Amino acid sequence: MMRDDYKVECGVHGTSPATFICHHLSHHRENQGFHMGYDPEDPDVLYPDAWCDQCNEVLEQEGEWNDTSEAFAKIKVVCANCYCSIRAKNWLQDEEALSHLIGDSFDYLQAMQDTFMKAYNIGDCERWDWDQEMGTLIFSHEGKPTVECDVHFVGTLSTLSKTWMWAWANQSLSDKVKEQSRLVRRIGDERQFLPLACPKWSADETDGWEMTAIMAKAVGAIGAYRTPDENGFVYMVVSKARWVSQEAEQINLEIPL
Ligand SMILES: [Zn+2]
Ligand SMILES: [Zn+2]
């Protein structure tokens, strides 16, 4: 049984996935710090066990979870929705550094995107198809495929649950398309940015584009694209693009990229 399969009855949120946090975090306080466990056997779990700064100090003194550190943490069960709001209230991050990263990334993506859309006439294409196994996104015009792109998925935005989920945490995606999103997770872990380090959080479409811009800059993408699905949108970055039809291949020679 996967960790995410345990359920708990929450007075506020109803039946929800069960998560585990220290008792300090379970009290209604803020800015206590938020540290997440890492289980190598289940590395992409949506709601890793979490504890506060104080618990982390004890854990570092003890060097492991033992009777002392566990007695201090007194781990409690809370529902996943409560976990997310507790995480948002207690996570400490450099907000200014995060908005700089977002701003710089947007500038990067905007510049690349304009060139990409124009160079490949993406605006004229009525249709797209993606292939997870191949990691490609194919644009078509007048019934014929015209441009083939190598893509990496960033994540999905659910307009139903109003949440963002990183591609790396999405079990329905192939490794081929989600692998590069782990680079952003590493940046999030190193710089302690909640939206980059955490697999799933409350979000809107703007957040989706912000995360896409961050990944685009981090991996040096030439553009980005968003396709609708039944619950919202799938965001992806484009690493390479090429013309498909023979006619277009000749045009390609005339467009220096
Ligand atoms: Zn604690
Ligand atoms: Zn709850």
Task: Name the DSSP letter for residue 41.
Answer: T
Specify whether 168 is located in the same domain as 119: yes
Q: What distance in angstroms lies between residue 12's CA and the mean position of ligand 2's atoms? A: 5
Please state, as a whole number, how many other Cβ atoms lie within 10 Å of the Cβ of residue 211: 24
Q: What distance in angstroms lies between residue 24's CA and the mean position of ligand 1's atoms? A: 4
User: At which of 46, 62, 90 does a domain end?
Assistant: 90
Q: What distance in angstroms lies between residue 171's CA and the mean position of ligand 2's atoms? A: 24
**pLDDT bracket for residue 248 (50, 70, 90):** very low
The tens digit of pLDDT for each residue in 81-136 reads 999 999 999 999 999 999 999 999 999 999 999 999 999 999 999 999 999 999 99
Is the per-residue pLDDT at 3 higher than 70? no
Phi and psi, residue 127, nearest 5°: -145, 150
Q: What distance in angstroms lies between residue 17's CA and the mean position of ligand 2's atoms? A: 9
Specify whether 101 is located in the same domain as 40: no
Q: What distance in angstroms lies between residue 41's CA and the mean position of ligand 2's atoms? A: 26
pTM over cut 0.85: yes
Neighbouring-strand partners of residue 234:
156, 227
Neighbouring-strand partners of residue 240:
150
Please state, as a whole number, how many other Cβ atoms lie within 10 Å of the Cβ of residue 141: 16
Q: Is the dihedral of CA 18, 49, 231, 144 positive or negative?
A: negative
Neighbouring-strand partners of residue 123:
none
Q: Is 158 helix (H, G, I), strand (E, B) or coil?
A: strand
Specify whether 131 is located in the same domain as 229: yes
Q: What distance in angstroms lies between residue 26's CA and the mean position of ligand 1's atoms? A: 9
Nearest to 19 by CA among 31, 7, 29, 27: 7
- For residue 141, give its domain range: 95-253
Is the per-residue pLDDT at 1 higher than 70? no
The tens digit of pLDDT for each residue in 168-220 reads 999 999 999 999 999 999 999 999 999 999 999 999 999 999 999 999 999 99
The tens digit of pLDDT for each residue in 9-43 reads 999 999 999 999 999 999 989 999 999 999 999 99
Specify whether 141 is located in the same domain as 227: yes
> CA 143 to CA 108: how far, in whole Å?
32
Specify whether 47 is located in the same domain as 120: no
The tens digit of pLDDT for each residue in 37-66 reads 999 999 999 999 999 999 999 999 999 999
In the structure, ligand 2 is a single-atom ion and the residues with CB under 5 Å from it are 10, 12-13, 79, 81-82
User: At which of 90, 112, 130 does a domain end?
Assistant: 90
Q: What distance in angstroms lies between residue 35's CA and the mean position of ligand 2's atoms? A: 20
Q: Which ligand is nearest to the CA of 29?
A: 1
Q: Which ligand is nearest to the CA of 82?
A: 2
Q: What distance in angstroms lies between residue 156's CA and the mean position of ligand 1's atoms? A: 32
Q: What distance in angstroms lies between residue 174's CA and the mean position of ligand 1's atoms? A: 36
Domain count, the chain: 2
Q: What distance in angstroms lies between residue 234's CA and the mean position of ligand 1's atoms? A: 36
Specify whether 84 is located in the same domain as 151: no
Specify whether 33 is located in the same domain as 123: no
Query: What is residue 28's predicted lDDT score, i.e. its pLDDT?
Result: 83
Is the per-residue pLDDT at 251 higher than 60? no
Specify whether 24 is located in the same domain as 106: no
Specify whether 79 is located in the same domain as 150: no
Is the per-residue pLDDT at 254 higher than 80? no
Q: What distance in angstroms lies between residue 232's CA and the mean position of ligand 1's atoms? A: 36
